[in-house]
């Protein structure tokens, strides 16, 4: 038997042995001592993070995301910061948020407890595996493990955060400090979301701010909104050029507040090129979701982003996704529709989103595309 054929036979045997392990997650595979990426995770050449001469995977090394200083929104420079915020949402769909008021201790504790959850024995993590997308807690792998043709190099812990008093008893009890740290973090990110959303509404000229409060009660719609916290683990990968931690996608909600550790990995697509988001200590990466693109009638854009993995370090991130209550309809604001800017999107709701991603392999911005009016 030739050496090439022998290697192929050996690889096939290894893949057969690993097939039953895929749904247990990437961390489980890594703990078993794999030295290569199993075929289930190998992307077609055109979709890999690095391709020779592949224009759609070209990387822009020089572009930096806009940085919004949250503290400046509270002072005399508010109008100028609102202009910068509007430009960031229109041109990039992303910005970095600094000086936001959430302490470095709260941030570090959330990253640390998330990391320790994924270091638990598999049997402990497996208690929270569920195929029910409405479950208050879900541990799983890939992007949509029920539909993905090729798996991505990611494990996740998803925690529903509203209403907190109902869901907390279902959250993991190990590590012992996870519930307490996650509650603190979820409350503070929810408050920050509301403050940022107020600024976004003002930048869209949908509310006016006075010294006392907003003149419009539109913000109240968001106060009882949904919040989903996703702790992502991207283990170090023996062949990072063959796979992705997350495929190109947009987020479904209004805004996502993403906390990164110091390991680079997040990229956004800007003018056809991929831009790496440099982690800023104690900052959040904030991005426009599909619901905000619909609500703004297309003025603010949800943007494709993906996650790279690397060969030496595990990366942890925490995404806090915010939107309206699950039962509420999302529609373009009537105040943003006129003859010059006609209605561009159908109404939608969370049930429509769940039905869509349950019925097909989610790719890029396909759900949002399905909401557009021709």
Q: What is the pLDDT of residues 305-341, one digit of tens each?
A: 999 999 999 999 999 999 998 888 999 999 999 999 9
Higher pLDDT, 236 or 134: 236
Q: What are phi and psi of 324, to 5 degrees?
A: -70, 170
- Is residue 293 within 8 Å of 287, Cβ to Cβ? no
Residue 163 has pLDDT above 50, yes or no: yes
- Total domains in the fold of the chain: 1
Query: What's the gap between Cα 269 and its chain centre?
Result: 14
Question: What distance, in Å, lies between the first and last C-alpha atoms of the chain?
Answer: 58
What residues contact residue 67 under an 8 Å CB cut-off, 6+ apart?
Answer: 95, 96, 97, 98, 280, 283
Mean pLDDT, range 123-152, rounded to an integer: 88
- Reported as a pLDDT band with limits 50, 70 and 90, residue 172 is very high
| Band of pLDDT at residue 362, cut at 50, 70 and 90 | low
SS3 366: helix
- Please tell me the distance from the alpha carbon of residue 25 to that of residue 41, in angstroms, as a whole number: 11
Q: CATH number for the domain including 168?
A: 2.60.120.330
Q: Are strands 266-270 and 137-141 parallel, antiparallel or unpaired?
A: unpaired
For residue 282, the model assigns a pLDDT of 93
Please check the confidence at residue 214 and state whether its pLDDT lies above 70. no
CA distance 256 to 284: 9
- Return left, alpha or beta for 356; rule: phi > 0 is left, psi -120 to 50 is alpha, else beta: alpha
Residues in the chain: 374
Cβ atoms 275, 60 nearer than 8 A: yes
> Where in the sequence is the domain holding 39, given as residue range(s)?
3-371
Q: What are phi and psi of 370, to 5 degrees?
A: -70, -15
- State how far the Cα of 69 lies from the Cα of 283, in Å rounded to an integer: 10
pLDDT-derived band at 169 (thresholds 50, 70, 90) equals very high
Averaged pLDDT for residues 164-169: 95
What pLDDT digit, counting tens, does each position of 6-29 carry? 545 455 555 555 566 778 899 999
Distance CA 1, CA 300 (A): 60
Helix (H, G, I), strand (E, B) or coil at 275: strand
pLDDT of residue 232: 98
pLDDT of 136 higher than 90: yes
Lowest mean pLDDT among 27-36, 57-66, 122-131, 136-145: 57-66
- Kind and range of the H or E element at 15? helix 3-19
């Amino acid at each position: 038997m030739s050496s090439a054929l022998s290697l192929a036979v050996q690889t096939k045997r290894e893949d057969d042995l690993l097939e039953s392990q895929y749904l247990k997650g990437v961390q489980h595979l890594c703990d078993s001592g794999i030295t290569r990426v199993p075929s289930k995770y190998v992307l077609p050449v055109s979709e890999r993070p690095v391709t020779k001469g592949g224009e759609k995977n070209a990387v822009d090394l020089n572009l930096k995301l806009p940085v919004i200083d949250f503290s400046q929104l509270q002072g005399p420079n508010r109008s100028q910061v609102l202009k910068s915020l509007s430009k960031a949402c229109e041109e990039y769909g992303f910005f970095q948020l600094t000086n936001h008021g959430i302490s470095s201790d709260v941030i570090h504790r959330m990253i640390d407890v998330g990391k320790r959850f994924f270091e638990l024995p598999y049997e402990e993590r497996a208690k929270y595996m569920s195929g029910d997308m409405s479950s208050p807690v879900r541990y799983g792998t890939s992007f949509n493990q029920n539909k993905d043709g090729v798996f991505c190099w990611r494990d996740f812990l998803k925690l529903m955060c509203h209403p907190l008093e109902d869901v907390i008893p279902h959250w993991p009890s190990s590590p012992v400090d996870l519930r307490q740290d996650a509650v603190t973090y979820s409350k503070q990110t929810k408050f920050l979301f509301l403050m940022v959303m107020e600024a976004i509404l003002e930048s869209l000229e949908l509310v006016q701010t006075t010294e006392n409060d907003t003149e419009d009660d539109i913000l109240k719609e968001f106060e009882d909104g949904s919040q989903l916290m996703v702790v992502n683990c991207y283990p170090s990968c023996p062949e990072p050029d063959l796979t992705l931690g997350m495929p190109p996608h947009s987020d479904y909600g209004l805004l996502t507040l993403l906390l990164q550790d110091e390991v680079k990995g997040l990229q956004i697509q800007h003018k056809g090129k991929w831009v790496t988001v440099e982690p800023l200590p104690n900052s959040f990466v904030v991005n426009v979701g599909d619901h905000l693109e619909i609500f703004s009638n297309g003025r603010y854009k949800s943007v494709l982003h993906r996650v790279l993995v690397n060969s030496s370090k595990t990366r942890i991130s925490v995404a806090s996704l915010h939107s309206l209550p699950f039962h509420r309809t999302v529609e373009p604001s009537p105040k943003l529709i006129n003859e010059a800017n006609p209605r561009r999107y159908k109404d939608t709701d969370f049930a429509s989103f769940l039905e869509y991603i349950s019925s097909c392999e989610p790719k890029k911005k396909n759900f949002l595309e399905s909401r557009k009016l021709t």
